[in-house]
C-alpha cells in the first residue's frame, strides 16, 4: 500500500482507503455485522488506515461497526464520518449549530470513539456554504476535543470552491472518476494552493466502471441504482455519476478497447484516479472480500501511459462531457 498526506490534517493515509456505504452487505440488503467486520479487518490487515462512514449509513450501523473494529485494533486507523443528512426535510434552515453539535455527539456515542479524526458536512444545501456560524461551530468542537478536523462532502465543484474559503476546512470529498473529470481543473488547482486534502468518492461510478454491467443487468428494489437514476431520492449525480445507464455502458465498451488485456476494469479506473497527485485517497466501497481485494490491487498497478490517459480523456470529451460536465 502507498500512502499520501491528507492535506492540512497531516494524516498519512492509504491512497486506496475504504468507503462504508455498503460495507454490511449489498445495496438494499439488511446490514450484516459479521460481514462488515470481516471486510473492515481485512482492509486494515492489508494497509488501509483511513475509513469513511456516515451517521446515516445503514441507520448508524456502519458507523458503529467502524468504531467497534477500530477500537479493537492496535494500528492507527483514521476515522472520517459525516453529519447533516439526518435533517429532514434536508433544507438550509434545518442546519443549526445546536443540531449539528447533537449529531457529532451522537456519532461519538455510536462509534465509541473518544474523538472524531475528521467530521464532514454531508452534502449540505448550497446555501449552507454561505453561513460562517455553521463552520465556526466546528472550531468550538475541536477545542472541546470532540473532533480533530473538519471537512465537507460536496455535490458540486462550486460548493467545493466555496467551502475551502473557510480556513478550518481541511478536506473535500468529491465525486471524481473517469466519468466525472471536471474537479481536476480549477478545483484541484485551488485545493493544492490551500493544502486541502481531496477524497475521491464514487470512484467506480456506482459500479459502471467495473465493466461488469450490461443491458440485462438488474438491480434490487432497494438499490439506488434502481430507484435513484433520475434523482428521486437524492442527488442524481450519486447514481452512475449522473450518466444515463445506456450512455455509460457505451463509454465502458470504448474503455475496454483501450485496455484489451486487462479484464479488471475497476483496477484501471482506480489507478486512473491515483494518477492525479492532488488526490489524497479514493474510497471505493466493498460488500465482499473479492471486491475489496480488487480495489486494493490498484495501489500496486503500474502507472497508466500518456497514451492511455489521452484515450480516456477523448472518451470523456466525446461521450460523457456533454452529459455531466457543467451540472456538477
Cell 480556513 belongs to residue: 167
231-259 as b/e: b if 16+ CB within 10 A: eeeeebbbbbbbbebebbbebbeebeebb
Those residues whose C-beta lies under 8 Å from the C-beta of residue 60, and which sit 6 or more positions away, are 110
Strand order in the sheet with 18-19: 18-19, 50-52, 78-83, 118-122, 150-153, 169-175, 197-201, 279-282
C-alpha atoms less than 13 angstroms from C-alpha of 328 in its C-beta half-sphere: 25
SS3 category, 16: strand
CA–CA gap between residue 262 and residue 297 (Å, rounded)? 13
State phi, psi for 16 to the nearest 5 degrees.
Answer: -105, 110
- The CA-atom distances, in angstroms, between 122 and each of 87, 150, 294 are 10, 11, 27
The residue assigned the cell 473532533 is: 147
Q: How far apart are the first and last CA of the chain?
A: 31
DSSP assignment, residue 137?
A: H
* CB of 95 closer than 8 Å to CB of 102: no
- Could you give the residue numbers annotated as active site? 57
28: phi then psi, degrees, rounded to nearest 5: 85, -10
Round to whole Å and give the CA distance between 194 and 306.
28
Query: Distance between CA 147 and CA 162 in Å, rounded?
Result: 22
For every residue of 47-92, DSSP letters joined together read T--EEE--TTGGGGHHHHHHHHHHHH-SS--EEEEEESTT-SS--G
Amino acid at each position: 500500500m502507498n500512502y499520501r498526506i491528507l492535506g492540512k490534517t497531516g494524516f498519512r493515509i492509504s491512497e486506496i482507503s475504504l468507503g462504508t456505504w455498503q460495507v454490511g452487505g449489498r445495496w438494499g440488503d439488511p446490514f450484516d455485522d459479521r460481514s462488515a467486520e470481516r471486510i473492515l479487518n481485512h482492509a486494515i490487515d492489508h494497509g488501509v488506515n483511513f475509513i469513511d462512514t456516515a451517521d446515516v449509513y445503514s441507520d448508524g450501523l456502519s458507523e458503529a461497526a467502524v468504531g467497534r473494529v477500530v477500537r479493537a485494533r492496535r494500528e492507527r486507523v483514521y476515522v472520517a464520518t459525516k453529519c447533516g443528512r439526518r435533517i429532514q426535510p434536508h433544507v438550509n434552515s434545518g442546519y443549526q449549530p445546536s443540531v449539528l453539535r447533537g449529531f457529532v455527539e451522537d456519532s461519538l456515542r455510536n462509534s465509541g470513539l473518544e474523538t472524531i479524526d475528521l467530521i464532514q458536512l454531508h452534502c449540505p444545501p448550497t446555501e449552507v456554504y454561505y453561513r460562517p456560524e455553521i463552520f465556526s461551530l466546528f472550531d468550538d468542537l475541536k477545542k472541546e476535543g470532540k473532533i480533530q478536523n473538519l471537512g465537507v462532502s460536496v455535490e458540486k465543484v462550486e460548493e467545493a470552491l466555496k467551502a475551502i474559503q473557510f480556513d478550518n476546512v481541511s478536506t473535500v470529498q468529491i465525486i471524481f472518476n473517469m466519468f466525472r473529470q471536471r474537479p481536476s481543473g480549477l478545483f484541484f488547482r485551488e485545493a493544492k494552493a490551500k493544502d486541502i486534502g481531496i477524497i475521491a468518492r464514487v470512484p467506480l461510478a456506482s459500479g459502471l466502471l467495473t465493466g461488469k454491467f450490461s443491458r440485462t443487468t438488474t438491480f434490487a428494489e432497494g438499490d439506488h441504482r434502481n430507484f435513484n437514476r433520475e434523482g428521486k431520492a437524492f442527488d442524481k449525480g450519486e447514481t452512475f455519476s449522473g450518466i444515463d445507464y445506456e450512455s455509460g455502458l457505451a463509454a465502458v465498451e470504448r474503455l475496454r478497447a483501450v485496455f484489451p488485456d486487462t479484464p479488471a476494469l475497476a483496477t484501471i479506473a482506480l489507478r486512473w484516479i491515483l494518477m492525479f497527485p492532488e488526490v489524497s485517497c479514493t474510497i471505493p466501497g466493498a460488500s465482499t472480500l473479492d471486491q475489496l481485494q480488487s480495489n486494493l490491487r490498484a495501489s500496486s498497478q503500474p502507472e497508466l501511459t500518456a497514451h492511455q490517459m489521452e484515450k480516456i480523456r477523448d472518451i470523456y470529451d466525446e461521450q460523457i462531457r456533454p452529459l455531466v460536465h457543467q451540472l456538477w
